Each structure stands twice: as structure tokens, then as C-alpha cells.
Amino acid sequence: MSICPKNKSSKGHRDQRRANWKMASVNLVACPKCGELMLPHRVCKNCGSYNKKEIISQAD
């Protein structure tokens, strides 16, 4: 036998189930060195530092 629903799901019941499936907003933190907003646990695009250490040297 194939897998079939026993009864029809109403639109309201279906939409209640789908209401919690949503995108989360991006979490941004301030860089401890320059204060620019950045993604956590990543190298800062503005100053090139990670965990207060310079990883990428910035050309002036």
C-alpha cells in the first residue's frame, strides 16, 4: 500500500504548521578592534583582525 493521509488537512491546519518555518535574521557583533559590525567567529572585513590579532594585513 502507498502512504496516503487518512483525512484531508484543512488550509488552516496546514498553514499553522508552515507558520514556524521562517528565516532567522543575521546575528552581527561589533569588532573588538575597530567596532565595525561583523559576523561572529570570522575575520573582520574592515580591519582584518580576528580575536584582537591582525590576520590579514591591510594596505593603506
| pLDDT 10s digits, 18-42 | 998 888 888 999 999 999 999 999 9
Query: For residue 59, is it within any domain?
Result: yes
Position 12 in a domain: no
Question: Would you tell me how many other CB atoms lie within 10 Å of the CB of residue 49?
Answer: 18
Cell output for 18 = 508552515
- Note whether residue 47 is domain-resident: yes
pLDDT confidence of 60, banded at 50, 70, 90?
A: low
Tell me, yes or no, whether 22 lies in a domain: no
Residue 23 lies in a domain: no
In angstroms, rounded to a whole number, what is the distance separating the alpha carbons of residues 35 and 51? Answer: 13
> Is residue 46 situated within a structural domain?
yes
C-alpha closest to that of 48 among 27, 17, 38, 25: 38
The total number of structural domains in the chain stands at 1
8 pLDDT tier (thresholds 50, 70, 90): very high
**What pTM does this model have?**
0.55
In a domain? residue 50:
yes
Q: Does residue 14 lie in a domain region?
A: no
Q: Is the dihedral of CA 18, 20, 25, 27 positive or negative?
A: negative
**Domain span including residue 58:** 28-60
Closest Cα partner for 40 from 32, 50, 49, 28?
28
